[in-house]
Amino acid sequence: MTKEEIQALRNEPWREELRKKMSPKDRGAIERVKMPELTPEYRVTTFTEEVQQGLTKEMAMTEAQRCLDCADPSCMKGCPVGINIPTFVKHIEKGEFAEAIQTIKKTSSLPAVCGRVCPQEKQCEGQCIKLKMKQKAVAIGYLERFAADYERESGKMQVPACAPKNGKKVCVVGSGPSGLAFAADMIKFGYDVTVFEALHEIGGVLKYGIPEFRLPNSVVEAEIDTLRKMGVNFQADVIVGKTVSYEQLHEMGFDGIFVGSGAGLPRFMNIPGENAIGVMSSNEYLTRINLMGAGRGQGFDTPVLKGKNVVVCGGGNTAMDSARTAKRMGAETVTLVYRRGLDELPARAEEVHHAMEEGIDFHVLHNPIEYHTDENGRVCEAVLQVMELGEPDASGRRSPVPVEGKTETIPADLVIVAIGVSPNPIIPSNFKGLEISKKGTIVVGEETMQSAVKDVFAGGDIVRGGATVILAMGDGRRAAANMHEYLSKK
Ligand code: FAD
Ligand code: SF4
């Protein structure tokens, strides 16, 4: 949106009236809302019940009153898909929930997802002007989730309007957030859109990675269903580059291809004992449990190892999800081993807080260097190097430095390695002519998302090498705008 469009909406009489109705001082006096949550004791007994229960209508309307409706809304600069935040928040303040979700859906195709999993404290909320006034930021994420849930639960989900068909066909490789955001915009522009997904379920990490206690599958499915109603064709169990080649996609009549194949390749530390039974990647662990139902009772055939003393290596969202899942799988102790300090943890602040409440033991400033095995070849101990913080590194965070000669050995009969992921190599190694970086990501124009093969655009983790849902969606939207421009000129 242009500055003028944002301003025009802000100048509408109903917005001026709301501003006059309550002074900034009174708005500042309202405490930030606390979202109701299941108790830690209860929630570690359930995989599918969401920890955070959502805001009531009254809570949402009161929280919306905290927003000052700034002349220059800095929060919008922190949102990678450019949601008109003050407009949707002010609709909630007025009780106009349908208008609120319409505003969000103009630029975001997955509001119920983003409202739950975006690291808002680093994005929109991190830019809220109230922080400069020593007040807590407006709970923008909670309000976004409220608007999306209200619409879904009312059973009246709106299907965004699409332009008449323009006769052109495009396809998407991968059904994660980048692919879904791309598909949503292209179908609106009038293209025929097919999404190919290698797995048997649509949704990418939203389904196979993020557990249901944080993001229920029914919520993801409802948003995918809206895309289906808009006309997007989803084809599961198709590995592009293996089942169908680049050339065959052209024979099928696709004029453009968007690659959103993610970063699903696990990374390991290459330390002694890492090949032992009972050491596995977080991808494998979470996919078995989230997607295949392993260990979740009758009706699921997929096995998964259970541990009494589980060690999780890493400090990101994947590590938090693995640790909290292990707790729900009945582990007696779950120790999260992270080589930097608590302040450096890259996971969302809320997930860290919830993990601590659930009894995860945070063993920070430690790094695994070796695993010992028992007589059956199963891991039984983790040897940890004690670390300290040194000078800041390229990421700006203080780098972890080993404390010479200081180690600690802890019991571990299951180790989950969640130290990061690498780009999925199938498209980079099967589409000829792509420029591939040293890290294995597809190189694209920063603004255009166009690759060295002109009809192939890419975005999300396959380009960034592991980022966030909303950055992936932002890429998908930029790629759609630029592919539309490119194909319109052809
Ligand atoms: P993905 O979501 O990875 O989807 C890619 C899809 O492409 C997959 O379904 C894959 O099967 C498919 N695919 C791959 N190759 C092919 C092929 N050749 N043919 C067909 N299909 C193919 N981010 C947040 O913002 N907040 C969080 O709380 C958060 N938590 C996370 C928790 C976990 C456990 C993980 C793993 C990640 C988390 N992230 C989080 C990161 C976020 O989920 C990713 O950045 C995001 O999903 C990337 O989206 P994407 O569209 O690029 O790819
Ligand atoms: Fe409201 Fe904060 Fe955005 Fe200002 S910066 S419009 S107070 S959410």
At 10-33, the pLDDT tens digits run 999 999 999 999 999 999 999 999
How far, in Å, CA of 340 to CA of 343, rounded?
8
User: Any residues with Cβ below 6 Å from ligand 1, and which?
Assistant: 117-119, 173-179, 196-199, 204-205, 209-210, 238-241, 260-262, 264, 286, 317-318, 321, 348, 424, 426-427, 460-462, 467-470, 472
Of residues 475, 464, 467, the one with CA closest to residue 483: 475
CB of residue 211 inside a 6 A radius of ligand 2: no
Confidence at residue 56, expressed as pLDDT on a 0 to 100 scale: 97
Q: How far, in Å, is the centroid of ligand 1 from the Cα of 20?
A: 44
Classify strands 379-392 and 366-373 as parallel, antiparallel or unpaired: antiparallel
Residue 130, pLDDT score: 97
Q: Give the integer Cα–Cα distance in Å for 484 and 482.
A: 5
The number of residues making up the chain comes to 490
Residues with Cβ within 8 Å of 18's Cβ and at least 6 positions away in sequence, in order, are 69, 90, 93, 94
- Among all chains, which residue has been given the structure tokens 């010992």? 372
Q: Which ligand is nearest to the CA of 15?
A: 2
Considering every ligand atom, which ligand is closest to the CA of 198? 1
Ligand 2 pocket residue status of 143, Cβ below 6 Å: no
Q: Counting ligands in written order, which one lies closest to the CA of residue 128?
A: 2
Task: Look at residue 422 in the predicted model and tell me its pLDDT.
Answer: 94
Separation of alpha carbons 254 and 240, rounded Å: 13
Question: Could you report the average pLDDT of every consecutive run of 10 residues in the chain (490 residues)?
Answer: 90 96 96 97 94 97 98 94 96 97 92 94 95 97 98 90 96 98 96 97 96 95 94 98 96 98 96 98 96 84 94 97 97 97 92 97 98 98 97 85 97 97 95 96 96 98 94 95 95
